[in-house]
Structure 1
Amino acid sequence: MYRTVVITGASSGAGRAIAYEFALQKDNLVLASRNIDELEEVKAECESMGGTAICVYTDVTSYGDVINLASAAADFGGNIDIWINNAGVLAAGSFEDTPVEVLDQVIRTNLMGYIHGAHAVLPYFKSQGRGVLINNISIGGFLPVPYGVGYSASKFGLRGFSASLRAELVNFSGIHICDAYPAFLDTPGIQHAANYTGKSIRPAPPVYDPARLAIAIAELAAHPKSEVMVGSASILLRYAYAVFPALTSRITAKVISTYLNRAEPIEKIDGNIFNTVKYGNAVHGGWGVPGKPKAHRKYIAAGLLMLSAAGLMLLRKK
């Protein structure tokens, strides 16, 4: 029996990769995004892989749109088996240089969009007695990002929201709330980002193939658990901040500020914060080495050495 899977933000990047992964399993896909033209392309590709799909225009900041998405999914598949909250946006820039309406929109999209999704689908899950809600949160849920205050606020908020909801539903054994925390991904997300730094930006290495996240999410759907870290860098960064929060924050800020001082100047842009864009709608952003996780080991080794050295220095000062 094929499952009905809802994916928000399915028109590019991680969402598109996730759609392809479930299409290979011949599931019924409900593809949601503000970019309906790109969704139609994703639909055609998913159907060529063996899946069945519909496209539903959805702005996740609008609860009405999300309610409509849930209704369309139930009509399409009879039930809603899996709901994947994935749609998100990014704004880079110092806090005072980032317009407050942009910060508001980042939080409305990244945090309230996921809350809207959960609120819309839970009545269906409870009626069915089962369902899997998967939140694609990112390592940003554990690691604060300087020059991305709105993004960090939304991701830290998502972690608390999901943990609280999971505890509230502890007596509903058939309903699962799962969180995915990928490291930096090779997606077009940075290309789509609002950028008020005045400098060209790119994701920090190592970056991972979004297909790795898609496979991990498919595994979560089949075998639900509370959380999964995707990529060894995500594990390193999570525990680095847990053990050395001040040091990790200082290093992160220093790395970013040094990069911005040297980066190529560009005009400030709003990206896709308020409207869709016509560029960068593939799965990959062209930032990394997709499918070669061993290439990242040098970064992980360097990170471990750096943290070990920092830890020893702190111990000596005591």
Structure 2
Amino acid sequence: MKDLKNTTIVITGASSGAGRAAALKFAQHQCTLVLAARNETALNEVKGECEELGATVFVVPTDTSDAKAMIALANSVNGIDVWINNAGVLAAGDFDKTPMAIHEQVIKTNLIGYMNGAHAVLPIFKQQGAGILINNISIGGFLPVPYGAGYTAAKFGLRGWSEALKGELTECPNIHICDLFPAFLDTPGILHAGNHTGKVLKPAPPVYDPNRLADAMVSMVQDPRSNKYVGSTSMLLKVAHAIAPELMTKMTGLIMRRYLKNADPIKLTDGNLFNTVDYGMSTHGGFGLPGKPKAHRKYIAAALATGITAGLWLFKK
């Protein structure tokens, strides 16, 4: 699909962050977009922006954790070429001090929501004999996040589920399952997070522009591949964890504890886990350097890798 004009693309989590960035990127190709999220007001804002770029846009308010709602989303248009599983939530806190309802909701959205999407669209792809399913998994599919146990459970589960799905579809060469593993992104997601740490949360640097992930999504549609790592840091973190998993896990826990010890206090909140919010619905979260990827970020990633290697050595000593 080098020419994406008139391609029908469903994007979940399109109201903000990477999903919103993806909608705007695909709109430049004059695609037919089906935008899904819980926040209908924000979706309509994105719709207007995409229509100005020449796209045909449908808004379908959807809770991805609701299987019936996802089937209705899949049936909202005739024929789907691309389905992008992107909607996700965050929650942070000591595992035992965070209510189980919080952990369950993170898994329902971040894991079951993706499975609901695939379950709804794969019959359409099989009937057509073709289709592309893109899963925005994140480097969290390889690297555990201490104080985000529910999030880690969902992301590790996503990676395994997607691999199993790829095995099932080996006899369907024109149906592609594509997984994206971006590093930390400058999106409002962390502002929407359920926060039971009592401290202000910030993403770990270096933080990448969500437009970089949106570009990767467009690239996946034009030239599907099984996996793509977005940002040098993503691959470096994966390799570091593969080489020394125990040390990396201990080190990330140490870094998180030191950060939380020094961070500013904040009230506990469930964020957008159970209900949508009316703030921070932009593409960027204001934590990074908005704009196109710059060459110097590779040097930042290299410095990070050096720091990780040194830290692992010191920690081992």
- Normalised to the residue count of structure 1, the TM-score between the two structures is 0.95
- Give the corresponding residue for 2:263: 263
Amino acid at match of 1:183: A
3-state DSSP of counterpart to 2:75? helix
Q: How far apart are 1:254 and its partner, in Å?
A: 1.1
**2:217 is the counterpart of 1:204:** no
* Match of residue 302 from structure 1: 303
Q: For 1:33-92, what per-residue CA distance to the aligned partner results, in whole angstroms no more than 9, with x for missing partners?
A: 000010000000000011110100100010010000000032xxxx10000000000001
Specify the alignment match of 2:64 in structure 1.
Answer: 60
State which of 26, 32, 48 in structure 2 corresponds to 1:28: 32
CA distance in 2, matches of 1:307, 1:91: 25
Q: Does 1:7 align with 2:11?
A: yes
Residue 181 of structure 1 corresponds to 181
1:37 lines up with 2:38 in the alignment:
no
- The answer to whether the 8 A contact 2:136-2:181 is kept is yes
Amino acid of the structure 1 residue aligned with 2:108: R
> Equivalences for 1:218-229 in 2 at 5 Å?
218-229=218-229
Counterpart AA for 2:65? T
Partners of 1:211 and 1:150 in 2: CA distance: 27
C-alpha contact (below 8 Å) 1:205/1:299 kept by paired residues: no
Q: What is the CA distance between 1:295 and its match in structure 2? A: 4.0
Equivalence for 1:168: 168
1:6-35 C-alpha deviation (Å, 9 max, x unpaired): 000000000000000110000000000000
Distance 1:57 1:314, change over 3 A: closer
CA offset at residue 208 of structure 1? 0.5
Correspondence 1:130-169 to 2 at 5 A: 130-169=130-169
**Residue 168 of structure 1: how far off its partner (Å):** 0.3
* 1:70 lines up with 2:74 in the alignment: yes
Tell me the residue number matched to 1:251.
Answer: 251
Q: Which amino acid aligns with 2:40?
A: I
1:298 CA drift (Å): 4.6
One-letter code aligned to 1:170 = T
Q: Does the 8 Å contact 2:179/2:226 carry over to 1? A: yes
CA distance in 2, matches of 1:280, 1:243: 37
Counterpart amino acid of residue 52 in structure 2: S
Residue-by-residue CA offset, 1:160-184 (whole Å, 9 max, x unaligned): 0100001100000110000000000
Question: Stretches of 4+ moved more than 4 A in 1?
Answer: 310-315
Counterpart-to-counterpart distance in 2, 1:314 and 1:11: 41
1:213 counterpart residue number: 213
Which residue in 1 is equivalent to 2:193? 193
The amino acid across from 2:303 in the alignment is A
2:76 aligns to what SS in structure 1? helix
User: Which amino acid in structure 2 is aligned with residue 254 of structure 1?
Assistant: L
Unmatched runs of 5 consecutive residues or more in structure 2 = none
- Contact 1:232/1:300 (CA < 8 Å) preserved in 2? yes
Amino acid at match of 1:61: S
SS in 2 for 1:229: strand
Give how far 1:255 is off: 1.1
Q: Deviations over 1:86-135 (max 9, x none)?
A: 00000011101111001001000000000000000001000100000000
Q: Show the counterpart of 2:21.
A: 17
- Residues 260-299 of structure 1: pairs in structure 2 closer than 5 A: 260-290=260-290, 291-299=292-300
Structure 2 vs 1, CA of residues 215 and 263 (structure 1 numbering), >3 Å: closer, same or farther? same
Asked if the contact 1:36/1:57 (under 8 Å) is kept, the reply is yes
Cα deviation 1:285-304 (Å, max 9, x = unaligned): 00011234334345423333
> Does structure 2 retain, via aligned residues, the 8 Å contact 1:14–1:211?
yes
**Cα separation, 2, equivalents of 1:46 and 1:226:** 28
Contact 2:200 2:266 in 1 (8 A): yes
User: RMSD value over aligned CA atoms?
Assistant: 1.5
State the alpha-carbon separation in 2 of the partners of residues 50 and 201 from structure 1: 37
TM-score by length of 2: 0.95
CA distance in 2, matches of 1:307, 1:66: 41
Q: Is there any run of 5+ residues in structure 1 with no aligned partner, and where? A: none
Q: Secondary structure at the match of 1:293?
A: coil
Task: Compute the displacement of 1:216 (Å).
Answer: 0.4
Distance 2:260 2:132 in 1: 40
